[in-house]
Amino acid sequence: MPISHYPVIARAHTNIALIKYWGKANEKLIIPENNSLSMTLDNFYTDTSVQFSQSLTHDELILNHQLIDDSTRITKFLDLVRKRAGINFYAKVESINHVPTSAGMASSASAFSALAAASSKAAGLNLNFKDLSRLARRGSGSASRSIYGGFVEWKKGTNDSNSYAVSIQEHPIMDIRLITVILNRSHKRISSREGMKRSVQTSPYYDAWKKTTASDLQKVKNAISKNNFNQLGQVAESNAMKMHALTLSAWPDFMYFKPDTIKVINKVKSFRDNGINCYFTMDAGPNVIIVCLKKDSQFIKSNLSKTLKSDNIVVSGPGEGVKFLHKIKSEGK
Ligand code: PMV
């Protein structure tokens, strides 16, 4: 395919890992130490438009209508696409993050997944989902999973060609909901990249993490196929706590929890004591994601709204995989 003379627009949704990716076997190629499994969310997504052009003198990035001065990470990513397509044109990249309110949520998963789809097509490549996932992975590991909708597994592989995500169940049978409880909008102090590196190099528990994560993954896959929500929730919660234990046991130690994180965790446990089946997970930041069933989601949200702003409590269902659009939508949801 020749390069596109029109901007190519792609939409990708973000995802939350139920079995976490935490640690790289190869830093440069972003090959993980363990397989991970996520659910793509319907409520958080990024729309990205890309056009390569002979008339540009550098890559141009416009994020949420603002011109970004330092686009080094995008340029490094586009270099991969240019190399593969055999072109040397720069690109104009326009990206809009659709998150309810200015949530300050990490959006690298949806961002690099949308960028992989839009830039490869704009460069004249016609990549299948496997190759899109491999490409997205080079921007951010978790982006490899956002190519697909529903439940997705990232198979760690051993090299660039066999490390990619696959669909586990595109349209979940389970009536699952993930409630994002946004507690802190400021930037995290230790990036996931740095946090993983430190955990791999210094935590005495890293080997135990790798071993138990492999069996956690099997249990979650069984839970998905048998529609067993409690098993999925229990294993996801335990896996998240094991990931955070790596941060506590690393040196120098670090912690993503804030006091309010613990309050929400305790709240989830008290819901459970009162017969509501719900669990929690957390990424490399203080926000808590509550894993529950649709039938309980509104009760949980309204209960939490007594002490937290309801705008900061977002209920998401399963979202779809990456897709191409005709027009970029410029306003938030
Ligand atoms: O892909 P990154 O570099 O944003 O790392 C993601 C790390 C976690 O969100 C904590 C876990 C995961 O699997 O998404």
164 bridge partner residues:
155
97 token code pair: 């993050």
Distance 313 CA to ligand 1 centre (A): 21
Find out whether 45 and 66 touch, Cβ atoms under 8 Å: no
> CB of 17 closer than 6 A to ligand 1?
yes
Distance, C-alpha 161 to centroid of its chain: 21
pTM for the whole structure: 0.95
Strands 90-98 and 60-63: what pairing? parallel
Ligand 1, from 283, 287, 288, 289: best to mutate by most atoms within 8 Å of Cβ?
A: 283
Distance 309 CA to ligand 1 centre (A): 26
> CB of 132 closer than 6 A to ligand 1?
no
Q: What is the pLDDT of residue 327?
A: 76
3-state secondary structure 152-173: EEEECCCCCCCCEEEEEECCCC
Q: Dihedral (C-alpha) 235, 108, 85, 49: value to the nearest 10 degrees?
A: 130
Tally of CB atoms within 10 A around 261: 21
User: In the 8-state DSSP scheme, what is residue 293?
Assistant: E
User: In the 8-state DSSP scheme, what is residue 318?
Assistant: B
173 token code pair: 């049978």
CB neighbours of 72 closer than 8 A, spacing ≥ 6?
none
Q: What is the DSSP string of 248-281?
A: HTSSS------HHHHHHHHHHHHHHHTT---EEE
Rounded CA separation 78/85 (Å): 10
User: In the 8-state DSSP scheme, what is residue 56?
Assistant: -
The per-residue pLDDT for range 172-196, each reduced to its tens digit, is 999 999 999 999 766 658 999 999 9
The per-residue pLDDT for range 26-68, each reduced to its tens digit, is 999 999 999 999 999 999 999 999 999 999 999 999 999 999 9
> CB of 21 closer than 6 A to ligand 1?
yes
Type of residue at 23: G
Which alpha helices (DSSP H) does 101-258 contain, by range? 108-122, 129-139, 192-202, 206-225, 229-248
Q: What is the pLDDT of residue 98?
A: 86
**pLDDT, mean of each 10-residue run, the chain (333 residues):** 92 97 98 98 96 97 93 96 97 89 67 98 98 98 98 98 98 98 77 96 98 97 98 98 98 95 98 97 94 98 95 96 84 43
Distance 50 CA to ligand 1 centre (A): 25
> CB of 283 closer than 6 A to ligand 1?
yes
